[in-house]
Every structure is written in structure tokens, then in C-alpha cells.
Amino acid sequence: MEKKVSRICPVSDPSTTYFLQITWEKDLGVGFDVILTDGQLAWAGRVTEDEISKEAADMEMEREKYIEELQKVLLFRGQTDKYNFDISKGEASGECLNFSYEKNLKDVSFRLGSMDLQAVSSPAETIREMISYCLHSIMGLQTKNEDLRKENERLLSDVDDLQGQLLKCVEAKEELETELYKRFILVLNEKKAKIRSLQQCLKEAKEATEGPTLKRD
Amino acid sequence: MEKKVSRICPVSDPSTTYFLQITWEKDLGVGFDVILTDGQLAWAGRVTEDEISKEAADMEMEREKYIEELQKVLLFRGQTDKYNFDISKGEASGECLNFSYEKNLKDVSFRLGSMDLQAVSSPAETIREMISYCLHSIMGLQTKNEDLRKENERLLSDVDDLQGQLLKCVEAKEELETELYKRFILVLNEKKAKIRSLQQCLKEAKEATEGPTLKRD
Amino acid sequence: SSETKEHFACKYDRYGDSYTADTDMAQLKGLFSRMSNLR
């Protein structure tokens, strides 16, 4: 079960603060429960799947599109300035309250939905549950934060390690090249020395051969 | 200004839930405000710096140590099972309420502090502020979460990049080594061929020289 | 013996590489690895 608690200020009385709690199963489109409280009293109601379909049909809006709009306005997944809420109390007793929500377009706004909420018998219990839910969310987020922070630290150290290894690898590659060339030069120069000495021997051998022949000539 | 909201169940009536809000400036030791609410009514009070010093002295506990204990019990920074809370209502009117907190040791618990709280005139306002603070904390943590998650993603891609670069570097090193050896072998074998041919020439030259001499001999 | 030394000195350079026999990857690697760290 999913829950979302938000702070709203009704357009008809922006100075007052209400807290809106939406509870739903996986898909908002199969219906959702609404709780509204001003910190003292609380009202509750439910929007059923059929009412959602009827509302979408009345607005000649595709059902999926309409549910998307509901998610934006009620779960605050859209731009908050594009949506308004309004609350009007039925009788003075405050037993019943009408809650409506609308979308602002440029110069016009159209109602996305409205519903009558009934006062709950024990508002204190409802408020306690709402605050407990908030504290539970805070704990969950703090734990998630801590996990992410630790994961970050681990990744940072991985990045450090890899940068170190990469540096070492680059150095090792340069060193390998230098070392191989050094060895190759030594071995090659041995051959060159050998060639020089053989050429010298050959030269002398030729002189030795040509020498007597020259004399005889 | 720092704030902490927690859910507590008084030992004398574990089935009831209260919410404890502690507000303090940087250092808890310079005093703190307490608000307690059951979701309907609310009580408030303050513990001053002097009262903290007096309490520590009465317990013959070093002030710093005492403040540490206060942080653990009131800000839930310790093990929650080591601390208890208790609430007792003064008159029936609920105007005044005594709030106490104690530390459990093995088979004994000692009181860390107690204070009288006065009922607030507008509990709804206090409760609204508490819920608003919780929602504000949730938003802050969600933002922090999002930042950490993005940072995580960035670091993960850095790790991927570095692993790719390291792999490339290792391959480049192996390739370099193979290439250099191939070239070295070509050049070296050229020289060896030269040496073989020089040795062959020298051998023939010597035979040519020794040939006639041999005949003459 | 000095003869043996003489014999090998004709055929191999001071690092043990033959003057005349062609070398290959394995031999050259072995040769280089036997050449102590030249630093």
C-alpha cells in the first residue's frame, strides 16, 4: 500500500494549512482514500475506480491521461503551481467537507475532481497515524541516505584505486618500452661489433690474398 | 536551529503514543525546548542551561557526559531500548503534564531528567508545525537522496570508464611488447644473416689464401 | 676451460645471443629476461 502526505493551502483561504493524505494500492486508477486534517479535526473519503472512470468520461479525457493528471495533482508529481486545491465546509458542524482539485491552464482552470469527506470520529488517532507515517518515512529515507552515502564512499575508493592502477599501468608501459629498447640496443650493438670485426678480418684476409698476387703482378 | 521529532510510548501507559519535539540551538547544552503532543492536545516547556548544569551536579555527573546522555535519550542517538520515558498528567484538566526520561541499566534505571510542561493554547497550530516540519524533512531527505543517487550514477560511470581505460592500457602494453619484439627480431635476424654471410666470405677468403700456400707446401 | 670459453665466445655475444642463428619471440624474451635489470 502506497501513501503520500502533503501540505496544501486552499485557494479560497490561502492562510490556512491542511495536510492531505492519499492512500492507494499499486495503481491510483483502482481507487484511493483521502484524509484531510487541519491539525485538529480530520475528514476522510474514498474515490472508487468507477468514479474515476466516470470523472474521466465526463471530462472526455482518456482514462490513462486522467489518472496521470490525478498523480500529478494528488501525489505532487507535477509542477505544484499548475494545480489548485479548494476546501469548503458543509454545515457549521464541520461534519462534512468538500474537497476539490483543479488544474490551472494559462487563464482558465478546470476541475479535475471533487469529493465530500466525512469528519472522522477520532481525529487524534488519524493525526497520530499521519505523524507516525511521516516519521517512518524519515527513518526510511535516512537509512537509504546512509546506504547511498556508504555506497558513494565505496565507489569513490574504487575510483581512487582504479586511477592508481591506471597510473601504474601507464608507467609500467613506459618502463617496459624503455627497458626493452635498452636490452635491444645492447644485443644489437654486439652484432654490429661482430660485423665490424668480421669486415676488418675479411679486409685483412683480402689484402693477404691480393698482397702476393699484387707483388707477383 | 535544530529540531528532532520522535514517537514515544510512556512506560506507565505503553499503548498510548506521543510525539516528542526537541528544538535547540547548535549545542543541546545551552538549553532546549520540548513539545509533546498526543495528536490532539500539546504541551510545551523549556530546559535552561542552568537547569542542565544543576541536573548534572545533582547526579554528580560530569556536565559533558550528562549532555551526551541527553542527546542519546532525547535525540534518539543511543540505543532506544536503554532509555524510558514517562508522562503523568497533573490535574484532570490536562493543563500541566510531567515529562520524565530515564536510563535503564541492567536491573536499575535512573532518572536523567524531568520537567513540567504547560498545555499550549492552540494545539492545532503546534501539530500543524510539527507535521510541516516532518514533511520538510522528508523533502530535504528526498532531495539529498536524489543527489546521492545521481552522484552514485556518476561514480559508477567513472568506475566503468576507468575500468575500460585500464583494460585498454593493459592491452596496449601487451601489444607494444609484441610489436617491439617483432621489430627487434626482424632487425636482429638481418644482422645475423649479415654475420653468416661475412663468416662465409671470410671462410672462402681464408681458403683462397691458404689454398696456393697449401699447394706450394 | 679456456677452449670452451673461446668456442662459445665465437658463437655467442656476451648476453648469450647467437651471432648467426636466427632468433624468435620466445628466445628473445628469454634473453632479455636474463639480462639483469639494466637500470
**C27 pLDDT more than 90:** yes
How many CB atoms are closer than 10 A to CB A126? 20
In chain A, which among 116-155 make CB contacts under 8 A with chain B? 123-128, 130-132, 134-135, 137-138, 141-142, 144-145, 148-149, 151-152, 155
- Nearest-by-Cβ selection for A195 from B6, B155, B195: B195
**A175 pLDDT more than 70:** yes
Tell if the CB–CB gap between B6 and A135 is shorter than 8 Å.
yes
What is the DSSP code string of A27-79? -GGGEEEEEEE-SS-EEEEEEEHHHHHHHHHHTT--HHHHHHHHHHHHS--S-
Compute the distance between CA of residue B124 and CA of residue A17 in angstroms, rounded to an integer.
Answer: 10
Tell me: the pLDDT tens digits for A72-88?
A: 999 998 887 889 999 99
Between A109 and B214, residue with greater pLDDT: A109
ipTM above 0.90, yes or no: no
C-alpha distances in Å from residue A210, one per residue of A106, B81, B123, B150, B207: 112, 112, 127, 88, 13
Phi and psi dihedrals of B22, rounded to 5? -110, 130
Which residues of chain C does B188 touch, with a Cβ-Cβ cutoff of 8 Å?
Answer: 17, 23, 28
The amino acid at residue B211 is G
Q: Which pTM does this prediction carry? A: 0.82
- Per-residue pLDDT, averaged over A34-49, amounts to 96
Strand partners, A43: A36, A119
Q: Which residue has the cell 520522535?
A: B6
Which residues of chain C does B195 touch, with a Cβ-Cβ cutoff of 8 Å?
Answer: 19-20
Tell if the CB–CB gap between C35 and A183 is shorter than 8 Å.
yes
Strand partners, B99: B87, B115
- Per-residue pLDDT, averaged over A56-75, amounts to 94
In chain B, which among 67-106 make CB contacts under 8 A with chain A? none
Angle between the N-to-C axes of helices C25-34 and B123-216, in degrees from 0 to 180, rounded to the nearest 10: 100
pLDDT of residue B82: 87
**B54 pLDDT more than 70:** yes
**A217 pLDDT more than 80:** no
What is the DSSP code string of B78-141? S-GGGEEEEEEESSTT-SEEEEEEEEE-SS-EEEEEEEEEEEPS-HHHHHHHHHHHHHHHHHHH
pLDDT averaged over chain B?
92
Between A214 and A22, residue with greater pLDDT: A22
> In which band, very low, low, confident or very high, does the pLDDT at C39 lie, cut at 50, 70 and 90?
very low
Tell me: the pLDDT tens digits for B122-170?
A: 999 999 999 999 999 999 999 999 999 999 999 999 999 999 999 999 9
Q: Residue B210 is inside which H or E element, if any? A: helix B123-216
Nearest to A27 by CA among A58, A2, A47: A2
Which residues of chain A does B151 touch, with a Cβ-Cβ cutoff of 8 Å?
Answer: 152
Cβ of C11 under 8 Å from any chain B Cβ? Answer: no
Q: What does the DSSP 8-state code read for residue C38? A: -
Cβ of C4 under 8 Å from any chain A Cβ? Answer: no
Tell if the CB–CB gap between B195 and C19 is shorter than 8 Å.
yes
Residue B91, C-alpha cell as written in the block: 490535574
Three-state DSSP at A118 gives strand
Chain C neighbours (≥3 Cβ pairs under 8 A) are A, B
In chain C, which among 14-33 make CB contacts under 8 A with chain A? 14-15, 17, 19, 31-32
> In which band, very low, low, confident or very high, does the pLDDT at A108 lie, cut at 50, 70 and 90?
confident
Tell if the CB–CB gap between C32 and A186 is shorter than 8 Å.
no
Three-state DSSP at A158 gives helix
Q: Which residues contact A26 (CB under 8 A, 6 or more apart)?
A: A2
How many CB atoms are closer than 10 A to CB A39? 27
Tell if the CB–CB gap between A7 and B144 is shorter than 8 Å.
no
pLDDT averaged over chain C?
86
B197 neighbors A194 (Cβ within 8 angstroms) = no
Tell if the CB–CB gap between B39 and A181 is shorter than 8 Å.
no
Phi and psi dihedrals of C30, rounded to 5? -60, -45
Exposed/middle/buried for residue B144 (C-beta within 10 Å: 0-12, 13-18, 19+): middle
B142 neighbors A6 (Cβ within 8 angstroms) = no
Q: For chain B, what percent of residues have pLDDT higher than 90?
A: 82
> In which band, very low, low, confident or very high, does the pLDDT at A178 lie, cut at 50, 70 and 90?
very high
Tell me: the pLDDT tens digits for A91-104?
A: 666 788 999 999 98
